[in-house]
Amino acid sequence: MNGLPDMATMMSYGLRKAIVTGMRKARIESFLVIVIMIFSTFHLPSEELHNEQTKMEQFGGGGSLEEQCGSITFEDIFIYNQAIFEVRVNDDWKSAEVDARAWINWTLADDIREDLDSFLEDIVPSGGDGWLSTDEIDAMVSIAADCLEYSITRIGIRDGAPHRGGQGVSWMNTTWEDDQTNIGHFNGVPSRHSQSRDCQGFSQEGCVEVPVIPAIERDCDIDINESLGVDECRIELWLNATMVIDGVTDPNDFTIAFNSSNMSNARLDFTFPVMPGLRMDMWEECEGRFVGPDGDNPGNGQLGFGPVRGSCIGDGTASYELQTNDDGSLTYSLDSNFSRENWPLGEDVFADFTTSSIPIDEAPTWTSQAPENGSWIPVAEEGANKLSSWEGYDGIASWFDDESGVANLDVVCYSDGSEVSQSIDRSLWVIVEGVIDVTCEAKDASGHTSGNRTWHVGVPFSVSTSELILQEQHPLNISYFDWGDANNSDIVACLELFPQGGQPTRESVEIGGRCHTVVRSSPWLGDSPHEAVNLSTWGIVPGPVNLWMEVSTGGFGVPDTMRKFEYIIDLGVVKESTPPSMTIGLGEFDGKMWRIEGQYSDPDGEPVTFTIEVDGQDIGQIVVSGNTWESEWIDLSSFSSGVIDVDVTGCDQSGKCTTSSMTLDIALVMEELVDQETPDDADEVEESLPSSGVPSLVIALSLAVLFRRRGL
């Protein structure tokens, strides 16, 4: 590969090389136990070809080493500038020997040293001090080797008919063999670093440490002249491992799937055992699968299904070569240059191999998932409409079959008197005016054609209303368009009014929703092109109201995604708010303190807030609980004798208000209160309160209070 130094040149720098295997030396065993504890604070991503659970960040969670490392890749542990992986499949097809080299250069080498040092902070005394020692990096590489045994290989190899993953197909059938994963490094702590110094280590050998960020001169090897332009601070990694393959019993037909998400500047060389006649049948690069956290998944439009074989349109970041070796074996070389900036969108590469003969070049054929010739396809409105996407279970790629792959076909569509086009993602767009005819066919590289199919495309009906103020049963008028002979097909529409900014119930009235179902048999052949319906409006809050409709057709001979659509229309309908209703009571006295309460309801179910005024001045607060309201205590002694006006106003969220008012004669109230507080003696108090005092006070207060109510 261009730009990669040869092994002899790189090894000439190898004055110090450490290879740490899965069998750990006892002299650092206690330190490793401590360092392993760091993984209990990591959160490492999950990545499967059929399961979209990967996270780019690998830190911040918990669990055992196996639980966390079982969801990451080599690239999650070490980010490199360039790497080569050699995968040699053994003769029994049960395992493969893997050798890898990775180069970590310039500031990326600084970053990895800084990360390793920060990982050790609060774990060992020297951690996080800006220096990295030989003991520390050996220990961390040792941990990485243990972790890699549980990590994801990115590779899936399965025999049988070609696969493209998707629902029910797991590609996670390769793993790393236990105790067979070795990682080596060169120059992790440069031995001739100009800033190196001795340190207090925990091994029996000498300890040397260097700053994680070198000086501006980057003099990590004092024996190398800076003018040579060599990155003296680079790090090199070696990987030797055995990969277990669980999924190949008959290698005469097999597919290699490789997930290249977040993998750049890497080459993989797959060498297979000698098999006469082994050849590649198809190779394709599939883009756009979401590999981020599930909660952020916008959906990939494939409903959990993998792409149709031969339908993928690659971005060119992956490429391949085939080489027949001297011993007759075949090597498949895959170059991956997928940008990490594309995260969380990923990429999968599929390669199908077979020993069968090369198929005869046949004409492409229509599949059962394609719209039948003469079908009627409904759209929501006139103007630009996307007739079909390229990908997806019912997409254009599923309409044709060809031995060369659908992506290699030229799908030609046209319409007399209307515009038909394909966008950069190969989805099909049409301009609809009335009813138009769209004709399509597929051609292969040899000029063979599938033959034409023609479909009729148009809007089935329009909806209008004569009332712009929402009614309890709101009237709509449906006008069916003339489609001519529609093969006696039915149209089913579910119509529902819902508040703008909210969500429709999408449930029929019969099961508690607001959706009104309309069924029309051959509407364009009926006696009248119009139909009046009344829609339920319960539960709709005041404000603008939209119409949601779901339209489906039967008997059109088209895929489900093309014979059914949802649509939202703004008819200009508004629901007006009704003011809340409220009651007000006599109130409660505690000496000269007084408070009032009452009940309220809002016909529209909106929340209601209250204010209280005395003679036009705000006073106190109103507390709301359930459907009742209550004022704070009001000190009547602070008012001069005379009559005061008390106004309590309740306003709903739409600004509609109701005011209940009362007039209180302070002089009369205070007189009654004074009379009750000054009995002749204690016996009179005991005798008078139950019999005459309370009724007379209530009567007096009732006479002192007058009520009125008004709505705003």
Each residue of 114-129: pLDDT tens digit? 988 888 887 777 878 8
If you average pLDDT over residues 54-67, what whole number do you get?
Answer: 49
Let me know if residue 659 belongs to a domain: yes
Which distant-in-sequence residues (6+ apart) come within 8 Å of 159 by Cβ? 247, 248, 249, 250, 251, 252, 253, 254
Percentages helix, strand, coil for the chain (3-state, rounded to 5) are 15, 40, 45
Same domain, 323 and 267: yes
Whichever domain contains 661, its CATH number is: 2.60.40.10
User: Taking 60 as the threshold, does the pLDDT of residue 407 lie above it?
Assistant: yes
Name the least confident of 243-247, 271-275, 594-598, 634-638. Answer: 634-638
User: Taking 90 as the threshold, does the pLDDT of residue 4 lie above it?
Assistant: no
Let me know if residue 616 belongs to a domain: yes
Q: ω into residue 344 within 30 of 0, thus cis? A: yes
Which one has a higher pLDDT value, 292 or 552? 552
Three-class SS of residue 703? helix
Nearest to 646 by CA among 608, 616, 609: 616
Name the least confident of 82-96, 602-616, 641-655, 693-707. Answer: 693-707
Same domain, 647 and 616: yes
Instruction: Give the range of the structural domain holding residue 585, as residue numbers without chain letter.
Output: 581-711
Same domain, 598 and 568: no
The last residue of a domain, from among 318, 352, 386: 352
Name the least confident of 96-100, 551-555, 638-642. Answer: 551-555
Note the pLDDT of residue 686: 46
If you average pLDDT over residues 602-624, what whole number do you get?
Answer: 90
Q: Is 589 exposed, middle or buried (0-12, 13-18, 19+ CB in 10 A)?
A: middle
Same domain, 428 and 377: yes
Question: What does the chain come to in residues?
Answer: 712
Q: Give the C-alpha separation, 350 to 366, whole Å.
A: 24
Note the pLDDT of residue 292: 55
Contact 284, 314 (CB under 8 A): yes
The pTM is what? Answer: 0.63
The last residue of a domain, from among 352, 373, 390: 352
Same domain, 293 and 158: yes
pLDDT, tens digit, for every residue of 474-490?
Answer: 999 988 887 665 445 67
Same domain, 607 and 695: yes
Which one has a higher pLDDT value, 67 or 270? 270
pLDDT, tens digit, for every residue of 310-333?
Answer: 888 888 889 999 999 999 999 999
Same domain, 420 and 533: no
Let me know if residue 229 belongs to a domain: no
Same domain, 180 and 299: yes
Bridge partners of residue 245, in order along the sequence: 174
414 falls in which pLDDT band (50, 70, 90)? very high
If you average pLDDT over residues 329-355, what whole number do you get?
Answer: 87
Backbone angles phi, psi at 81, to 5 degrees: -85, -35
User: Taking 80 as the threshold, does the pLDDT of residue 45 lie above it?
Assistant: no
Let me know if residue 192 belongs to a domain: no
Note the pLDDT of residue 169: 57
Same domain, 168 and 33: yes
256 falls in which pLDDT band (50, 70, 90)? very high
Which one has a higher pLDDT value, 30 or 230? 230
Let me know if residue 139 belongs to a domain: no
Report how many domains make up the chain: 4
Q: Give the C-alpha separation, 428 to 384, whole Å.
A: 11
Note the pLDDT of residue 136: 87
555 falls in which pLDDT band (50, 70, 90)? low
Let me know if residue 128 belongs to a domain: no
Note the pLDDT of residue 275: 95
Three-class SS of residue 706? strand
Note the pLDDT of residue 217: 87
Same domain, 554 and 592: no
Same domain, 240 and 276: yes
Let me know if residue 135 belongs to a domain: no
Let me know if residue 419 belongs to a domain: yes
Which one has a higher pLDDT value, 53 or 200? 200
